[in-house]
Amino acid sequence: MTELMDRSGYITLLDAVRQCTLCEPHLPLGPRPVLQFHPDAKILIAGQAPGRKVHETGLPFNDPSGDRLREWLGVTREQFYDPKLFAIIPMGFCYPGTGKSGDLPPRPECAQTWRARLLEQLPNVQMTLVLGQYAQAYHFGTVHKTVTELVQSWQRFWPDKVPLPHPSPRNNLWLRRNSWFETEIIPEIKKQVCLLL
C-alpha cells in the first residue's frame, strides 16, 4: 500500500469512486462500483457496465464475457486481474439493471464525473481495448455508423486503441457472421498483449 500512497491523489480518487452513490436512485441493486485501477497499468480495457454476476462478486469480467475476453487476449486470470498490467474502467461502474433486450445502458453520470480524472492517472497505458458501442462512442466519437464498421477499421487506430465487439454471449451471432474478426484481429491482439506484458 505504501507504493500506491506515494502517487499523488491515486488512493483518494479510487476511494472516492468506490464510495460513489451518484446513481443510487436509478440502480435496482444499489451502488457497487466495479473497476480495476493502478497507475502502472499497461493496457486499458474500456467496457460498458457490470452485469448482475459482476455486481454480486465485485470482480470485473467475472462472467462468461470475461472468459471470452481473456481468451481473446491470450492471458490467464492471474494476469488479467493484476492491476499493474490491466486497468479495467467501464463506462458505468455499477450494474444498471435489465431492459427488454439485455442490460440497460451504462448510467451517464459515471463517465461525466470520473472517466477523465481516472484516465489522466494512467500514464503508462500503451493499448486501449474498447468494447461495445457505448465505450466506442466515448473513445472514438462518431467516426463510424456501426460497431461492425468501426471494428473493421481496426488497423487505422492500431495499436493505441482497438475497437472490439463486446465479448458477451449475446454477440455469438455477430461473431458467427463476422468470422474475420477471430481469424484476422484476435491473433494480432494476442501478439501485442504478449509484447506489452
In this model, does residue 173 exceed pLDDT 80?
Answer: yes
In this model, does residue 98 exceed pLDDT 70?
Answer: yes
Express as a percent the part of the chain with pLDDT over 70: 94
Give me the domain span that covers residue 95: 2-196
In this model, does residue 96 exceed pLDDT 90?
Answer: no
Digit-coded pLDDT (tens) for 67-77: 999 999 999 99
Q: Which helix (H) or strand (E) holds 162?
A: strand 161-164
Predicted local confidence at residue 11, as pLDDT = 57
CA 130 – CA 162 distance, rounded (Å): 6
**pLDDT confidence bin for 145, thresholds 50/70/90:** confident
Cα–Cα nearest to 174, from 147, 196, 153, 154:
147
If you average pLDDT over every residue of the chain, what do you get? 89
CA 145 – CA 137 distance, rounded (Å): 10
At 155, which CATH number?
A: 3.40.470.10
In this model, does residue 46 exceed pLDDT 50?
Answer: yes
Number of independent structural domains in the chain: 1
Pairing, β 127-131 against β 102-103: unpaired
